[in-house]
Amino acid sequence: MSGAATSDHGFNPRLIAGVVAIGVIAFIALWALIALGPQLSSGNNGGGHALAKGAPGYAGIVDLLERAGAEVELRRTVESQSYEEYHPLLILTPTHRSRPEEISELIDAQSGGKVLIILPKWEVMTVPGQAAKPGWVGAGIPVTPSARLLPEALFGKVTVAAAPGKAAVVPADLANRVFSVTLPANVQTVKGEQLDVLIAGPDGGAVLARSREHDRYILADPDLINNLAFASRDKARGAAMLIDAIGEDADANALAFDVTLNGLGGGRSLLRFAFVPPFIGITLCLIAAGLLALWQAWARFGPALKPARAIPVSKAALIANSADLIKQARRELDGADAFVKSQRGAIARRLHAPSGLDDGGTDAWIDKHLPAGSDLFSALARRLPLARNTHEFLADAQALHDIRKDLLRDSQ
């Protein structure tokens, strides 16, 4: 058999406490990540939004604007953020699969504010046989988006088309600024009766258009400002001047890039509210209360009790069982003579009493060895068998035991 020590209660308390603590922390972390996952995500997934660093994304223009000192916000909610001295230009970057009602909700939340919609152009895919790098796109196919991305109630009836041709540099005159932008080959354009053309395309459509009734702008081709435009210095300069001119034309003092249309928003939910101010305080209090309840349960009950043996092992256990049996039978007083005899014999044997003495003579011989003024052994020996109750019996028996202990100098 192994000589290793075994636990008294089957499990190591520290191990179980560690497992419970890890489980609680993992459970809380799981729900926190579920609630806040979209907000904690870097967003560098190769999509066409402000957090993506791939070709269709807009991380380049965002970084350039921030370095230039512009106030740039990445908006993950549908709530309006327009204040008395804060009038941002909301930039929407829908995908081919975005729903018109989602776009309408974002625009309506601006309460008539300034909005720029950048239509999607590229459908990206992974090249078979090639390992995709994080944030990169394998290949892109230009796909003309549906006109449904521009709600008819807000922009009227519009059409979106691709104009075949070669890349060309065209002049732009916007907000009293004259600059050049590079139109890509197969440029996308938009047409509509309620739209004003700000930058014309080769087919008579508008690469950049504005609603006649509101400060709502449409950039039909994203290649003018996306990361693909940063392949050259001239394109990057044109992208920065284009965004700056649109913001000045709209009289906006900040830029807000929306990422909710790209699945990176933090929607309203009770689970999310539990981990953001002001309700994070209540959540922490509940967690602390749960931990205190676990600690109290652990301290109150402790490890499982080990069942005792039905019949204990040892001489002491045998004596205790015999005494308990005598007590249950109510025969304690019947053992007085035997107790006196055992004490007398032990003292006489240890002190070498003269042989031939009867019980009375032995008691008298023991009395001679006792200090003056103490209880006599002979008196206690006569009185103990006459005890009327257990209290008297125990008192005299204890006195006899004390005499033996004093004379023999032991604890028996």
| Rg of the chain, C-alpha, whole Å | 48
Its pTM stands at 0.59
**pLDDT value, residue 62:** 92
The CATH topology of domain 42-263 is: Rossmann fold (3.40.50)
pLDDT of 412 over the 60 cut: no
In order, the DSSP letters of 106-121 are: HHHHTTS-EEEEE---
**pLDDT value, residue 3:** 44
Return the domain boundaries, the chain: 42-263, 315-408
% pLDDT > 70, the chain: 83
User: How far is Cα 124 from Cα 346, in angstroms, rounded to an integer?
Assistant: 105
- Cross-strand pairs, 358: none
User: How far is Cα 86 from Cα 52, in angstroms, rounded to an integer?
Assistant: 26
**pLDDT value, residue 291:** 80
pLDDT of 410 over the 70 cut: no
> Which of 67-81, 85-99, 157-171, 194-208 is predicted least confidently?
67-81
Tens digit of each residue's pLDDT (9 = 90 or more) over 170-205: 888 898 888 989 898 889 999 999 999 999 988 888
Cα 33 to its chain centre, rounded Å, is: 7
Provide the mean pLDDT of the chain: 81
In order, the DSSP letters of 227-285 are: GGGGGSHHHHHHHHHHHHHHHHHTT-SEEEEE-GGGT------HHHHTTSTTTHHHHHH
Tens digit of each residue's pLDDT (9 = 90 or more) over 243-281: 999 999 998 889 999 988 887 765 555 566 666 677 677
**pLDDT value, residue 126:** 67
Residue 183: CB atoms within 10 Å? 24
